[in-house]
Amino acid sequence: MMRSRPFPTPRPALAGLALLLWLPLAPALSQSKQLTVEEAFLNRDLQPQNLRQLSWIPGSKDEVAYLRPAQKGQPDELLRGSATGKDLTPIVTQATLAAALKAAGATEPKAFPGVQWRDANTMLITSKNQVYSYDLKTGKATRAFGYDAEADNVDFDPTKTRVAYTKGPNLYISMAGRENEARSKEPETPTPTNAPIVFGQAAHRSEFGITKGTFWSPAGNKLACYVINQSEVTDYPLVNLTTTPASTQPIKYPMTGDKTQQVQIEVFDLNTNKPVVLQTKFGDGHYLTNLAWSPDEKNIYLAELNRGQNHMQLNQYDATTGAFIKTLFEEKDDKYVEPQHPAQFVPGHPDQFVWQSQRDGYNHLYLYSTSGQLLRQLTQGSWIVTDILGFSADGKEIIYASTADSPLERHVYRVSLSGGAPRKVSQGTGTHVATLSPSGRYVLDNFSSPATPRTIRTIAVADGKPQRLLLNAPNPVADYQLGETKIVPLKAADGSTDLYARLITPPNFDAKKKYPTVVYLYGGPHVQLVTENWLSGSNLWMQMMAQKGYVVFSIDSRGSGNRGRAFEQATFRQLGTAEMADQLVGVNYLKSLPYVNQSRMGVHGWSFGGFLTTTLMTRAPGTFKAAVGGGPVIDWRMYEVMYTERYMDTPQENPEGYRQANLLNYVSKLQGKLLLIHGTIDDVVVWQHSLDYLKQAVDEGVQLDYFVYPGHPHNVVGKDRAHLYTKITRYFDENL
């Protein structure tokens, strides 16, 4: 859901058989340390080691670079090496780079700065909004250009010679010789989040895979951007408690069923300085998503979706005039269509692109011509493609990641654009997160599994053979006594759908004892909690709770991510119902375990998980003795248009669904102890949700507990996260 971040972020089970997949973390004799909340959230040394600033070097012969930390008093040093070689060559130390930047007029960095690669010989470093280039051959840095100190949404073009950014509601471009040029002229406002029209910011509340509001053409000659007219969107007041007296900071928050943003795409030509607006097709409240440029920069391809989100068109526009050219194809669904990925053009074939779609029930790859002809479906099966990595060196294959081996795993595959069966590139049961080299010949494979914290190596795409090991991370919690983790396949409440759960038992487990249990859940779209990676997707707080003597359990109910369209759409128009039923399947499994104390069970979740936690406490009262719900949606009528109307339709179209999901209607049913937590400036699930619940409890004489985090948005992060989970831990200690 909702831009929330739950904790770090198999084959079908046999019918009727709860087969246990054992994934032990075998204790060693030296494992004796006990985790604390502070260590679980603030001690980076307890996370698997990683390689900083690891990347492929563009323009090189398949070389990688990464930062080697300081060793024996020596400063940090950037290294580079080929995908297949044995030796890594030092490029520059922190001290050398700092001296070069200082000579160029930059403030001397106190640590190794972040770098971007322009080409095989040139790095870019940004220091206090000034961009410097560093020449590896000469060892000299020069100032390239700068941009405004108050810049937001900074976006470099593909050539790394220009940058777009926003300031307030306006859009600017900076480059050498033409710095801080305004591309829009909306008046500055004291509260830019409340401006009626904004340029260059992410539209549609960052749904549909949208992460930004500016889109550079392939050679950086043109820039497309969102223009968001939110003048008719309701102002919603957030309270700023840092002033005396407190003040309001209104934001534009389109609640479901109400008026929403009107969005356009404007295109700026840097050579002519003439902006044009795409003459988009759909009407009021439509969505413009997944923008892609043609390789020649002449056309823009745009997925357009009606407000009902059940009819999508992929449309082509002239980037010079803004004129509509044609609709290449349409997708419709009786529930919803959710495009999340732009068209990706085939190298060397500017008239072909790959499109991702769930049209057959699972996210798969389709090869199209720019005439709109479907050439072929490239992948198919009851699994999903999770990411396109790129194309092979000869442009004849596409390399992608998918769940083809198991919904719990991620592997890298390749398939020919001319058709045929996919071939697996990665090896080893677990989770492979990969990036493709610029040539398409190798991948950087970041691998983890329940038994492997992290390994990073290069792999040849052609035959899947490992080439170079860059990192084999040690177990960061080897000295800590952890419990045993296993993955449990179960059947959903419908009796047929496969679900997967994670069960953690305490160290020194005694099957004759009775243990209290905490269920951590999310249950909403686009999130998967149970995976075959390090700690099986759990986090150290869960491991800490196991150390304290709790059984810790999670299950990915229907409606959650990465299982296909039918799995997600099982919750359509009735959020909370199917998810609750599946969570109760997990509860029944726990009750079947002789070592689980059925009278001492608790549940915790945040965001959609907070909604589901509160749902279980009041629509299945008596199931749990204690619960903690954070940032919960209480009444879907008060959540945002783009998300809610996809899964619930509008309140006018689905009044019964909204009534059934409205947790204000169940306050009187509450049994057990419930703690609700909210951030006071939550701009995702606004504070009013839990305040309304609190008011309803007061009106009905129902007792519950409540805590707020002043000045925090939707997630409580930073040092205060340890405070948050200390409170949650104590609540379970005191009430279970």
d(CA 19, CA 12): 10
Residue 250 bridge partners (DSSP): 237
- What radius of gyration do the chain's Cα atoms show? 26
- Burial class of residue 258 (count of CB atoms within 10 Å of its CB; 0-12, 13-18, 19+): middle
Say which of 682, 683, 689, 690 is annotated catalytic.
682
Bridge partner residues of 22 (DSSP): 486
Alpha-carbon torsion (633, 639, 645, 649), positive or negative: positive
Torsion of CA 569, 575, 579, 580, to 10 degrees: -160
- Residue of 357, 449, 607, 690 marked catalytic: 607
Q: Are the CB atoms for 250 and 235 separated by under 8 Å?
A: yes
- Do 435 and 56 touch, CB atoms closer than 8 A? yes
Can you tell me the distance from the alpha carbon of 634 to that of 587, in angstroms, rounded to the nearest whole number? 23
Token pair in block for residue 464: 């899947």
Cα–Cα distance for residue pair 419/403, rounded to 1 Å = 20
The residue from 286, 604, 678, 714 that is catalytic is 714
In the chain, count H helices and then E strands. Answer: 10, 44
- Give the distance between the most distant pair of CA atoms in the chain: 78
Six token digits for residue 610: 């907070």
Q: Catalytic site residue 607?
A: yes
What sign for the dihedral angle of Cα 634, 638, 640, 644?
positive
Output b/e per residue, 20-29; b: 16+ Cβ within 10 A.
ebebebebee
Contact 230, 640 (CB under 8 A): no
- What is the C-alpha to C-alpha distance for residues 95 and 117, in angstroms, rounded to an integer? 19
The encoded tokens of residue 460 equal 């040849």
My answer on whether omega of the bond before 245 falls inside 30° of 0, hence cis, is yes
Question: What's the CA gap between 228 and 627, in Å, rounded?
Answer: 40
User: Who's near 704: CB < 8 A, 6+ residues apart?
Assistant: 670, 673, 674, 675, 676, 694, 697
Kindly report the length of the chain: 736
Q: Which two tokens stand for residue 421?
A: 């069966």
CA-to-CA distance for 623 and 606, rounded, in angstroms?
Answer: 19
CA distance 425 to 258: 48
**662: nearest Cα among 693, 700, 695, 703:** 693
Locate 633 and state its tokens. 């949606």
Phi, psi of 204 (to 5 degrees): 55, 35
Six-digit token string for 525: 């779209």
Residues that are catalytic: 607, 682, 714
